[in-house]
Structure 1
Amino acid sequence: MTDPRPNDAATLRPDPVTLACADGQRLQGHFFAARGDATAAPVLISPATGVRQQFYWRFADWLAGQGHPVLVFDYRGIGLSLEGSLADSRARLVDWGRLDQVAALQWLLERTGAAQVVLVGHSAGAQMIGLLPNHERIARLVGVAASTGWFGGMRLAFALKARFGLRLMVPIGTLFKGYAPTAWLGLGENLPAQVGRQWGQWCAAGGYATNAVRAGLAADFHAQVRTPIVVLHAEDDDIATPETVRDLLRTLPASPRATLRVRPRDHGLRAIGHLDWFRQSHQALWPLLRRAVVGEVAVEVPVPG
């Protein structure tokens, strides 16, 4: 997960919006009004950890051209939603789910008047639906490179690198800088200290957001979620592997699901990895993502036990 550049989105002019969270925190987002067939479902794009909203603007604009109203936003402590200095931010990873995604979802529902929206979650953006009290307002969850990031489900060499970075260097870095120096490790933007610490803890333990529940930091809706889930992950993704994807889906036992493991060469690409799905250079993947958005990917109800 390196170099999440903003996809050359400077020429786009979406509407800036402010989202109000239940705890009073204000988030900054942008709304892309639908063009063409305006009857298509609204889409909420929730970013990956340490990735600014501008990275998704080209894809959001493309979806808007397909008739979808689209909202993209920054979590607290990131990008346009960072208030003051990063070292002063008290944002927590758990708050990105239980507060920030909740507020973004509610804003899009009110703006469009829709009964439900589609959540396109990139990595962490798809990992926290079990923390959302309004999860039933999500018609489908399209998880792109979505998994728990569990170290135990990664290739050994990459797992050692990730563990060294998130469990050793990030905690040490926060002591000296007051924030998590994840950019130095090639893990996207620098993060608020508590976000960086929780990220490492959750990846080490497996089960991702269920760790917030066990720690008493959030209400637990995992078993109640029945939203259909489609997870797309690349064959060359070191983070979202078959094992870490399964680790995510096991936390949502009642949700119908489908998993698509995508080979870059099948789409005329050399690589996809964890980030490249949303780059303008990888537009060949976007029709596949939209098939999942509009419900054209069949899902199966999990068999108990």
Structure 2
Amino acid sequence: MNDFSIDDLEICCQDGFKLAATLFKPSGKAKAAILIGPATGITQQFYKGFAEFLAGHGYAVITFDNRGIGRSLSGKVSASNATLQCWGEQDMPAILEYLKTSYPDSAYHLIGHSAGGQLVGLMHNAGDLNSIFTFASSSGRLKNMKMPYALKAHFFMNLFIPVSNMLFGHTKSQLLGMGEPLPKGVANQWRDWCNGQGYVKTAFGKSIHTHLYNTLSTPSLWVNATDDDIAIDINVTDMLAVFENMTAATMTLSPETNGLVEIGHMKFFSRKSSHLWQHPLTWLESNTPSSRRSG
């Protein structure tokens, strides 16, 4: 493992919003620069161990909090006008632009967790990515979920979210163990998109008028787990169908065959699952041209 340092950053989006981010810098030349796209309502702290692992293997890695979440929340969450759409159109592109400026002539990769992979087609600069690796990224379509989890999902999406938004002006998702409190705009889009087909495709021609889902051809690997009730195989397929021009590889991990009690939707990034991190490391090595590695 290589030495690395950690810098706390504030990165400005095109619309002027400032995001809290953290850069993990390897000593010497970086093999490539990696953007870790977080799941809905999950703070960057959750990915710290994983980012340190990648930095220790020579990669520059950046984590961040989407607007309205964690250290990127300014003021009350009920006052935030954040949406899933602006996370993909504003926040993720700004982080990638920072990497491009800091590591010019490098290879750039996205490692997306759930929404962090789903939203990549909204990034105007997604074409600058050399590869995409996702975990638990799918359409999250409620119709495809199996009982009894389907009942829990419908309760959260179609009852808890609207009632919480009405009473509190935001979604108190933390009460159900669903990450940070969510701005109402984020939660409302999450509900709408998971009730439809193809997640973000639900908003095409409505709130979303420009995107790269139909043109993006970046090499990608989509990984899910057999014990994930959300990113089940049919929902991964449903999400990939939105990427009309992408040739994507898939991989399904089983906790039993990997010596784990649980992987589910979240535990891939747990230090207890760190032996699974060899999968993204192998992917990065095979998709990073040696000639593009920079300092």
User: Would the TM-score normalized by the shorter structure come out above 0.5?
Assistant: yes
The residue type equivalent to 1:26 in the other structure is K
**TM-score if structure 2 supplies the norm length?**
0.93
Matched position secondary structure for 1:184 = helix
Deviation at 1:211, TM superposition (A): 2.3
Match of 2:11 among 19, 22, 25: 19
Distance 1:139 1:154 in 2: 32
Q: Please tell me whether residue 282 in structure 1 is matched to residue 273 in structure 2.
A: yes
* Cα distance between partner residues in 1 of 2:9 and 2:127: 24
1:11-32 CA-partner distances (Å, limit 9, x unpaired):
x972011111111111010000
The residue correspondences of 1:42-121 to structure 2 (distance < 5 A) are: 42-121=33-112
Q: 1:293 aligns with which of 284, 289, 293?
A: 284
Structure 1 residue 218, shift from structure 2 partner: 4.4
Greater CA drift, 51-60 or 151-160: 151-160
What is the Cα deviation at residue 289 of structure 1? Answer: 2.1
- Does the residue aligned with 1:284 lie in a helix, a strand or coil? helix
Structure 2 match to 1:32: 24
- Counterparts of 1:217 and 1:258, CA distance in 2: 27
Contact 1:150 1:244 survives alignment (8 Å): yes
Q: CA deviation at 1:221?
A: 1.5
1:158 aligns with 2:149: yes
- Cα distance in 1, alignment partners of residues 97 and 110 from structure 2: 12
Q: Residues of 2 paired with 1:146 and 1:239: CA distance? A: 9
- Secondary structure, counterpart of 2:109 in structure 1: strand
The residue aligned with 1:171 is: 162
CA distance in 2, matches of 1:89, 1:217: 20
* Kept after mapping to 1: 8 A contact 2:35/2:109: yes
In structure 2, relative to structure 1, the CA distance for the partners of 1:214 and 1:161 (3 Å cut) is: farther
The answer (yes or no) to whether the contact 2:5–2:26 under 8 Å persists in 1 is no
Which shows bigger deviation, 258-267 or 74-83? 258-267
Question: Structure 1, residues 189-236: CA drift from partner, whole Å, max 9, x if none?
Answer: 110011011101100102112223232334121111011110110110
Structure 2, unpaired ranges of 5+: 288-295
- CA–CA distance in 1 between the matches of 2:267 and 2:275? 11
Q: Distance in 2 between matches of 1:89 and 1:114?
A: 36
SS in 1 for 2:26: coil
Match of 1:198 in 2: 189
Q: Which runs of 4+ in 1 moved over 6 A?
A: none
1:175 and 1:116 map into 2 onto residues whose CA distance is 45
Cα distance in 2, alignment partners of residues 172 and 43 from structure 1:
38
CA RMSD of aligned residues (A): 1.5
Output the CA distance in 1 between the equivalents of 2:213 and 2:106: 21
Structure 2 CA distance, aligned partners of 1:183 and 1:214? 32
For 2:175 and 2:201, how far apart are their aligned partners in 1? Answer: 28
Matches within 5 A, 1:183-222: 183-222=174-213
**Share of identical aligned residues, percent?**
36
Give me the whole-angstrom Cα distance separating, in 1, the residues matched to 2:55 and 2:105: 16
The gaps in structure 1 that reach 5 residues or longer are: 1-11, 297-305
* Alpha-carbon contact 1:148-1:247 (below 8 Å) kept: yes
The separation in 2 between residues aligned to 1:106 and 1:85, in whole angstroms, is 28
What is the rounded CA distance, in whole Å, between the counterparts of 2:204 and 2:8 in structure 1? Answer: 33
1:105 partner letter = L
Once the two structures are TM-superposed, the CA of residue 39 in structure 1 deviates from its matched residue by 4.1
Q: Deviations over 1:52-77 (max 9, x none)?
A: 00000111011001000000000000
8 Å contact 2:33–2:106 — kept in the other structure? no
In the superposition, relative to structure 1, how do residues 270 and 189 fare at CA in structure 2: closer, same or farther (>3 Å)?
same
- The 1:59–1:35 alpha-carbon spacing in structure 2 relative to 1, beyond 3 Å, is farther
Q: Kindly indicate whether the alpha-carbon contact (under 8 Å) linking 2:88 and 2:123 is maintained by their aligned counterparts in 1.
A: yes
> How far apart, CA to CA, are the structure 2 residues paired with 1:114 and 1:56?
26
- Mapped to 2, the partners of 1:196 and 1:163 lie a distance apart of 13
